[in-house]
């Protein structure tokens, strides 16, 4: 049996590789650089193929494919969302992704994306916060202290300059976990016992809960003028976090309207309700926050271009490092038409 050629080998970033890369670079650097890659791709939004993610829903959760491509590369992410998993000892969200060359269709990267999704989601939230949050905002309320919580806190610290995070979760064990993980972050951490307590004095409110239901994490009377809401938990049909009246009082910003109207907070509104696309804000074509008393709402569901940016980022960083393996995953016969002959030559 012959050894695989270089053409058959694909860089693979495992969970261990990803953790090593993040530690080698520093999580603040990773979040900041990821945000820069995402911003650069949002600014060239018209260059991408775009479609709502392909979703397979069940009573237990959802499995999704998130594809996109530009003129050079094609990328997709496989991701699930199963809120019940935590009770059974599994992750609520797991993911992997592939980046391929458009020129020949060959994969150039296969990577875990459970950690990478957490990083890119946080980087996207903070990037959007940079455009929409009140000037000089320093305090963020974090309602929902699960797997995404600490990533959000670190991203808003690194990119937006917040210095205080007020934590609340219906499970005090989750709040204690988040407070412990952020104890050495340089942030002032304030554990709270109610959502109302958590939002006191906060200029940014991040909601990140996992139940697949129409929930009301924020009621209308909890949200005063001038705040920025980073709503990242409502991300599939039948799953929301905000009272409808909050949406009616807010300027709503989205990634890709055809997907957000299916999965985001705005599924509670008429399909013609106006929203602003973030790529236009980042390109300076439309305004972001225009008034100090305005309520801005990022109705975040996650979009494939953000994953594409994350795949590009990892691919750019692993060269010259030891934070990847090589997988023999592509058939490479000596003569391209002789696939059967390659199989026969490998017979014992």
Per-residue burial over 287-301, b if 16 or more Cβ lie within 10 Å, else e, is ebbeeeebbbbbbbb
The per-residue DSSP string of 206-220 comes to: EE----SSEEEEE-G
- The answer to whether the beta carbons of residues 109 and 315 sit under 8 Å apart is yes
Which residue, chain included where needed, has tokens 């200029």?
203
Which residue, chain included where needed, has tokens 């390109």?
283
- The answer to whether the beta carbons of residues 97 and 14 sit under 8 Å apart is no
Cα angle: 237, vertex 84, 19; to 5 degrees: 95
Residue 45 in tokens: 């939004």
Q: Give the residue among 229, 245, 224 at the shortest CA–CA distance from 293.
A: 224
Under the phi-then-psi rule, with left for phi > 0, alpha for psi from -120 to 50, and beta for the rest, what region is 16? alpha
The per-residue DSSP string of 40-86 comes to: HHHTTGGGSB----EEEE-SS-EEEEEEEE-SSEEEEEEEEE-GGGG
| Catalytic residue (choose from 41, 169, 235, 299) | 235
Tell me whether residue 245 is one of the annotated catalytic residues.
no
Which residue stretches of 194-256 are H helix? 195-198, 244-249
Using CA atoms, how far apart are residues 41 and 47, in angstroms rounded to an integer? 9
Residue 283 in tokens: 């390109």
Question: Strand, coil or helix: what is 338?
Answer: coil
Q: Give the residue among 189, 177, 113, 191 at the shortest CA–CA distance from 147.
A: 177
Under the phi-then-psi rule, with left for phi > 0, alpha for psi from -120 to 50, and beta for the rest, what region is 89? left
- Beta-sheet strand order (sheet of 62-69): 54-57, 62-69, 73-81, 95-101, 107-112, 9-13, 325-328
Catalytic residues: 235
């Amino acid at each position: 049996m012959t050894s695989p050629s270089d053409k058959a080998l694909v860089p693979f970033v495992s969970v261990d590789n990803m953790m090593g890369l993040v530690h080698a670079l520093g999580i603040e650097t990773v979040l900041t650089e990821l945000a820069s890659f995402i911003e650069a791709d949002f600014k060239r939004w018209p260059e991408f193929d775009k479609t709502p993610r392909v979703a397979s829903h069940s009573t237990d959760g959802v499995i999704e494919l998130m594809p996109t491509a530009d003129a050079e590369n094609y990328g997709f992410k496989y991701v699930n969302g199963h809120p019940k998993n935590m009770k059974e000892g599994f992750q609520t969200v797991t993911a992997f992704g592939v980046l391929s060359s458009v020129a020949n269709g060959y994969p150039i990267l296969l990577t875990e994306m459970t950690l990478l999704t957490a990083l890119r989601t946080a980087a996207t939230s903070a990037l959007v916060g940079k455009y929409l949050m009140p000037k000089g905002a320093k305090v963020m309320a974090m309602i929902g202290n699960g797997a995404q919580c600490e990533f959000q806190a670190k991203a808003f610290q690194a990119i937006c300059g917040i210095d205080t995070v007020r934590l609340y979760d219906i499970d005090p064990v989750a709040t204690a976990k988040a407070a412990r993980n952020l104890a050495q972050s340089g942030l002032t951490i304030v554990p709270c016992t109610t959502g109302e307590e958590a939002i006191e004095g906060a200029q940014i409110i991040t909601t990140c809960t996992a139940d697949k239901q129409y929930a009301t994490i924020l009621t209308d009377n909890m949200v005063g003028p001038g705040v920025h809401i980073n709503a990242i938990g409502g991300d599939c049909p039948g799953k929301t976090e905000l009272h409808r009246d909050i949406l009616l009082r807010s300027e709503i910003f989205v990634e890709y309207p055809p997907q957000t109207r299916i999965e985001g907070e705005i599924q509670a509104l008429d399909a013609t309700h106006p929203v602003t696309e973030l790529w236009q804000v980042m390109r300076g074509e439309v305004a972001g926050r225009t008034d100090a008393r305005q309520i801005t709402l990022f109705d975040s569901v996650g979009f494939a271009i953000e994953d594409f940016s994350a795949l590009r980022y990892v691919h750019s960083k692993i060269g010259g490092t030891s934070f990847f393996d090589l997988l023999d995953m592509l058939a490479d016969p000596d003569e391209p038409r002789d696939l059967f002959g390659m199989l026969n030559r490998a017979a014992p």
